[in-house]
Amino acid sequence: MDFLKLIEQKRDGGELSPEAIAGAVAGFAEGTVPDYQMAAFLMAVQFQGMTLAETRALTLAMRDSGEVLQFPEDDRPLVDKHSTGGVGDKVSLPLAPLLACLGYRVPMISGRGLGITGGTLDKLESIPGFTTQLSAEQFVSQVQRIGVALGGQTAEIAPADKALYALRDVTGTVPSIPLITASILSKKLAENLDALVMDVKFGAAAFMRTREDARALAKSIVNLATECGVQTTALLTSMDTPIGRAVGNWLEVKESIACLEGNGGDGSKDLEELVIACAAQLPGCDADRARAELASGRPREKFNELLAAQGADLAACEIKLKQDTTAPVVRDFPASGKGYLARCDARVIGEVVRDLGGGRQTKDAKIQPEVGLDNLLKPGEAIDRPLCRIHATTEAAADMAAERLATAFEISDEQPSLDPLICEILGGR
């Protein structure tokens, strides 16, 4: 395969054949296509886009870079949820055990942080002992046994996405509809699902800045997934404000567990609203049933079962959960005035947390699991306390965060009216 020719063809707006795309993905997965050439190819796709046929070919080639999980016949439908990426977006953590308790099988293959958005795998790895690297066999047997497994792409499962995802993260090639479609669906099709619910985000901190672009992404994913036999619904949701009150890997795990214990977000209901809305889109479920199951306490127990199954040290986790803070430097970020919070800019918040060490700027950067922000005040709330708390590794990092945070918040005298979180539903039952 002459990969240089493919780069040039894509750069000049040409359409690539399915065979050429399959060859490129295989070459990259085997290591015969180097990172620098793949990065150039991804940037050409970012600018030129892909036709439907190209997107389909890329998705299937990425899926087939590994195994498609094979589950035994069972009455419990195979379902999953995936988000296109947000700040404070921890919905998968409470949702996965909830779905298992609702009688679904949930083989959830997630990703790491991408750009300023957090990743489920990075969050889970802040739990002492927890492993996200499951073999295909372990994945299937755990899902059969306890109804849920949460893992990442591996050498066996969607390996092409594992490598491409990491490269896109550091080459400015994330916000591309065909690349996001192929990345997400390669993993979801490898799970052999019956049904999928997508949370497609738009706004300041989303890869799709406008609702129109998010709708186009949602259609791309829903149409291709449906064509591949997976019943798929997409929620279009706003990503101007972080979800919940915590951003940062361990801080988000804590908030997710609080949500499973009925205290999600300490009075902020957006996390729970999204968890319930996602569950309600799945065949055989509705919001009342999902809410009642969440309140039963069973999903909290299921979460512990999941942690134990994937190697977590439950005793160490409980001790860590009881600690109010685990980062070396913790300080309040005070408000500059009185009134109401009018805006909490999720993009600035995401950048601050990434630069505190909660995300990556280079492929090999190591995540600092304890850093981030919590106690975030939400738009519409009266300013009667600090706007948030900064968790950092050093005083200098906390100073840097405080300086940047000054631009994230806007205060007004009047209580602002708020836009809805869930704006539109596409596809569906």
From residue 37 to residue 66, the character string flagging contacts with ligand URA as x (rule: CB under 6 A) and all else as - is ------------------------------
3-class secondary structure, 84: coil
184 binds ligand URA per the rule CB under 6 A: yes
Q: Which residue from 23, 66, 85, 152 is in contact with ligand URA, where contact means CB under 6 A?
A: 85
114 binds ligand URA per the rule CB under 6 A: yes
Classify the C-alpha dihedral 13-171-25-5 as positive or negative: positive
Q: Could you tell me which residues are beta bridge partners of residue 117?
A: 114
Q: Which candidate in 120, 126, 176, 256 is catalytic?
A: 120
Least separation, in Å, of the C-beta of 304 and ligand URA? 26
| CA 336/CA 89 separation, integer angstroms | 27
Residue type at 147 in one-letter notation: G
Least separation, in Å, of the C-beta of 414 and ligand URA? 36
391: annotated active-site residue: no
389: annotated active-site residue: no
Cβ atoms of residues 139 and 172 within 8 Å: no
| CA 308/CA 330 separation, integer angstroms | 30
Task: Select 111 or 299, whichever has its Cβ closest to ligand URA.
Answer: 111
Q: Where are the beta strands (DSSP E) in 76-222?
A: 79-83, 106-110, 148-152, 195-202
Least separation, in Å, of the C-beta of 74 and ligand URA? 26
Q: Which candidate in 188, 215, 245, 347 is catalytic?
A: 188
162: annotated active-site residue: no
Consecutive H or E run containing 412: strand 409-412
Least separation, in Å, of the C-beta of 409 and ligand URA? 27
151 binds ligand URA per the rule CB under 6 A: no
Count interface residues toward ligand URA (CB under 6 A).
7
Cβ atoms of residues 83 and 199 within 8 Å: yes
From residue 65 to residue 84, the character string flagging contacts with ligand URA as x (rule: CB under 6 A) and all else as - is -------------------x
Stretch that binds ligand URA, among 51-59, 176-184, 208-216, 410-418 (CB under 6 A): 176-184
180 binds ligand URA per the rule CB under 6 A: yes
**H, E, C per residue of 268-288:** CCHHHHHHHHHHHCCCCCCHH
| CA 266/CA 324 separation, integer angstroms | 14
83: annotated active-site residue: yes
264 binds ligand URA per the rule CB under 6 A: no
Q: Which tokens hold the place of 93?
A: 């953590």
81: annotated active-site residue: yes
Residue 269 sits at φ, ψ, to 5 deg, of: -95, 0
Q: Which residue from 111, 264, 265, 427 is in contact with ligand URA, where contact means CB under 6 A?
A: 111
Complete DSSP assignment for 85-134: --SS--THHHHHHHHHHTT-BEEEEE---BTTB--HHHHHTTSTT-----
Residue located via tokens 């707006």: 13
Least separation, in Å, of the C-beta of 240 and ligand URA? 18
248 binds ligand URA per the rule CB under 6 A: no
| CA 81/CA 279 separation, integer angstroms | 9
Q: Which residue from 55, 154, 183, 237 is in contact with ligand URA, where contact means CB under 6 A?
A: 183
188: annotated active-site residue: yes
Classify the C-alpha dihedral 51-57-63-66 as positive or negative: negative
Stretch that binds ligand URA, among 4-12, 180-188, 298-306, 333-341 (CB under 6 A): 180-188
In this structure, what DSSP letter does residue 366 have? P
By annotation, the residues acting in catalysis are 80-83, 120, 168, 183, 187-188
Residues of this chain that bind ligand URA (CB under 6 A): 84-85, 111, 114, 180, 183-184
